[in-house]
Chain A
Amino acid sequence: MSGARLAWKKFSRDRLAFGGFLIILALVLTALLAGVLSPFPEDTHKIHPATRLKSPSATYMLGTDHMGRDILSRLLFGARVTLVISIIAVATSLLIGVPLGLMAGYFENWISELIMRVADIFLSIPQVILALFMAKTLGPSIPNVILALSLTYWPWFTRIVFAETRSLKKSVFIEATEALGANPLRTILLHILPNVSSSIIVRSSIGMGYTILTAAVLGFLGVGAQPPTPEWGVMIAESRQYLPDAWWYAMFPGLAIFLVVLGFNMLGDGLRDIIDPRLRRSFE
């Protein structure tokens, strides 16, 4: 069996990882097919004051909000918003953090020190607060949220890549490569990067979960996506006024967030278990 098929087999047998994977697959499909699946796709921008705050029924399966819009449809489109924000944010963090981590780990000079110090400094302020501050400074919009999220998450990638690169560097096969005179860029790309990629993948999955939560917080606080964008955090913020009567308005967006973040966490945990079997249940 080829390596990929073997890995897939192992993966699909792990309930945690596979379950998470299924949830995320559902999320992606929902986001892509939102236009098709939503009963009222126009509710992302149209308002219907006549049908405001209706409780869940056959037509409006999750009820309507204070502008008469179908919550289910808005949730489905909100999946798109959430995914776009998180994927781009995590990808950007990765693109910033991983190369910095590789450099810091591979070279042992003042550049490494500098990189790690800067990473520490970014980590010295709790992320939500820093992201909040950045988003407020830049102005509330989706691109700015993405930027703020990326700029606060990259140190996590750098740290983990740094640690692994450093320990790999001490391993015999890297010393051999260097002895043979391979140039640093080659060594990093061909030898080190493949070995740290599994940690990067795990971290990305966990990062997605974390970023989605933080994006929701920023939306809730009003520094992220702005209405009428159907962002889940924004929806929860808007729903507060109408409690306790319109309980569905506050409950369902939160459940959506929960499911999605759960999916990514499960996937990340499951992947970590597979990749690092030492931490797994062994019989000894």
Chain B
Amino acid sequence: MSRGIVTFILKRIFFFIPTLLGLLILVFIISRVIPGDPAALVAGETATPEQVKAIRIQLGFDQPLYVQLGVYLRQLATGDLGKSLYSGRKVSQDLFDRFPATLELTLAAMFISVVIGIPLGIVSALKRNSLIDHLVRGFTVSGLAIASFWLGIMLQLFASMWLGITPLGARITGPVPTPLTGLYIIDSLLALNGQALLNSLKHILLPALTLSFASLATLARFTRSGVLDVIQKDFILYERAMGLPPKVIVYKYILRNALISTVTQVGLLFGLLLAGAVVIETVFDWPGLGLYAYQSIVLSDYQAILGVTLVSGFVYVAVNLAVDVVLTLVDPRRAEL
């Protein structure tokens, strides 16, 4: 790797820190500065005035803001996200427990989006203005207009309630495979547990499909315009004129260039998936961070919601950073810009 690339990557990692800090401060401002009585928020709706006062002192909300900020940052640095009102446990513990479920769902959705979305985009671009192209374009335009939670409910209605071919919700019915990664599909594969594998797949099908919908449409769309863009470039003409076989041109040259614009979208897609997880998990009773967020909203468990917000922000920024680094390795020109 050339020096230029390494310095570029280091710079990017370096800039990650102020953004992260900004994120933390933003959440701080929203949770402590804006509300009339932050202690009341944390104490919950059923708290008595004495309880609110007690929490205010206990959590140091009576201190001057800059002191609060210091404490807040210090706590976050040690991973302390406060206590959940509902479970009584540390929020970080709650999040940690629920993380694998959301991870599995998000990965499955990402997998579906990539495996279906990218080829759709490529075929659509290569056969421009054909029937397939119009179908794909129609699909992408409408795919982005459907409310994901509604889609999930409709799929539940059709597939689970009317046709009875998929379960209504949850991750698995029956014994959980030996927990190694927390991802049921992987765990059942590792334990060679065919029944658990089949069961988990049946359960994850609808939620993953629903979650993947918006990002699938986006991916197909961006891949399509990426490929269309590349096809018109001079170097493709040159490669054709010099007799490079069409398969080589498509698979090696066009794909690489088009994928770059697609990978740029992966970071954004991840954000879509994270946000979508909240409603999808709610609809399908999927015991992950999203459902946790929903339950916390219903129960007004403020610390929990705050924890989810912080964690999703952190993960989102981290993923975008990773995407940036990968992109630079794939297309070294970025380092020179």
Contact = CB atoms under 8 A, between A and B. Distances in A.
B312 A258 contact: no
B163 to A, nearest CB: 11
A188 interface: no
Contact of B312 (A121, A126, A209): A126
Nearest to A266: B141
Interface in A24-71: none
B4 interface: no
A137 B141 contact: no
B101 interface: no
A262 B143 CA distance: 9
A236 B312 CA distance: 26
Contacts of A122: 26
Given A122-B26, A126-B272, A244 B154 contact: no
B128 interface: yes
Among B41, B275, B300, max chain A CB count under 10 A is at B275
B23 A124 contact: yes
A213 B143 CA distance: 12
Among B25, B147, B294, B297, max chain A CB count under 10 A is at B147
B173 interface: no
B217 to A, nearest CB: 10
A118 B279 CA distance: 28
A17 B224 CA distance: 20
Interface in A124-139: 124-130, 132-134, 136-138
Interface string A241-284: 00110010011011001110110011001000000000101001
A188 to B, nearest CB: 26
Contacts of A254: 146-147, 150-151, 153-154
B303 to A, nearest CB: 12
Interface in B278-298: 278-279, 282-283, 293-294, 297-298
Interface in B140-179: 141-142, 144-151, 153-154, 156-157, 161-162
Interface stretch (A178-186, A193-201, A219-227): A219-227
Contact of A279 (B129, B156, B225, B283): B225
Contacts of B41: 137
A209 B145 contact: yes
A124 B154 contact: no
B19 A117 contact: yes
A148 B140 CA distance: 28
Contact of A261 (B22, B34, B145, B272): B145
Among A121, A132, A251, A265, max chain B CB count under 10 A is at A121
Contacts of A223: 297
A180 to B, nearest CB: 32
A227 B242 CA distance: 67
B308 interface: yes
A207 interface: no
Contact of B30 (A128, A137, A222, A253): A137
Contacts of A133: 27, 30, 305-306, 309
A236 B282 contact: no
B144 A120 contact: no
B145 A258 contact: yes
13 contacts: A117-B18, A121-B26, A125-B27, A127-B275, A130-B313, A132-B293, A216-B147, A217-B147, A221-B297, A265-B141, A269-B141, A281-B128, A284-B232
Interface of B: 18-20, 22-23, 25-27, 30-31, 34-35, 41, 128-129, 141-142, 144-151, 153-154, 156-157, 161-162, 225, 232, 271-272, 274-276, 278-279, 282-283, 293-294, 297-298, 300, 302, 305-306, 308-309, 312-313, 316-317
Given A125-B309, A222-B298, 20 more contacts: A117-B22, A121-B22, A121-B25, A125-B312, A125-B313, A125-B316, A126-B275, A126-B316, A129-B275, A129-B293, A129-B313, A136-B305, A137-B41, A236-B150, A250-B150, A253-B150, A257-B150, A258-B142, A261-B144, A262-B141
